[in-house]
Amino acid sequence: MREFSNWLFKYLKKKYPGCKVEMDTIGNVYFTKGVSEIYPCMVAHVDCNQDYHSNPLIINTGNWIVSIDNNTGEQIGMGHDDKAGVYISLEMIKKFDKIKAFFPVNEEISALGSKSAD
């Protein structure tokens, strides 16, 4: 998952050159735009908890959405993560002059990113 953290870090540094963008040793990304005593803060984790499958069959029953591995016929995880939260956070960063954002890693395995956050 470090790949996405690295991409996000570089993206934020390039897109917002006057802002503070940091990454800690495990890959958590911290972003600060503007100076304020109080900030709105967006939080969205950047890891997922499923193995990659190249050609899953997604079935929407109306009540449930499931994924089947087309090669084995077994039900598999869909690799849900919080990329929607990352997208919303990036949109909020655009809109606010003063905002913080935190993008932790390893949330799917005992919230290790948040637990090690500064």
Please state, in angstroms and as integers, the Cα–Cα distance from residue 21 to each residue in 24, 102, 103, 116, following that order.
10, 10, 11, 17
Question: Per-residue confidence at 103, pLDDT binned at 50, 70, 90?
Answer: very high
**Gap between the Cα atoms of 67 and 26, Å rounded:** 30
Residue with tokens 């003063």: 98
pLDDT in tens, 30-66: 999 999 999 999 999 887 666 777 788 888 888 887 8
- What is residue 75's predicted lDDT score, i.e. its pLDDT? 85
**Cβ–Cβ < 8 Å for 48, 56:** no
**Cβ–Cβ < 8 Å for 38, 99:** no
pLDDT in tens, 75-98: 887 666 677 889 999 999 999 999
The answer on pLDDT for 67 being more than 90 is: no
Question: Per-residue confidence at 106, pLDDT binned at 50, 70, 90?
Answer: confident
Q: What is the mean pLDDT of residues 66-81?
A: 80
- What is residue 114's predicted lDDT score, i.e. its pLDDT? 77
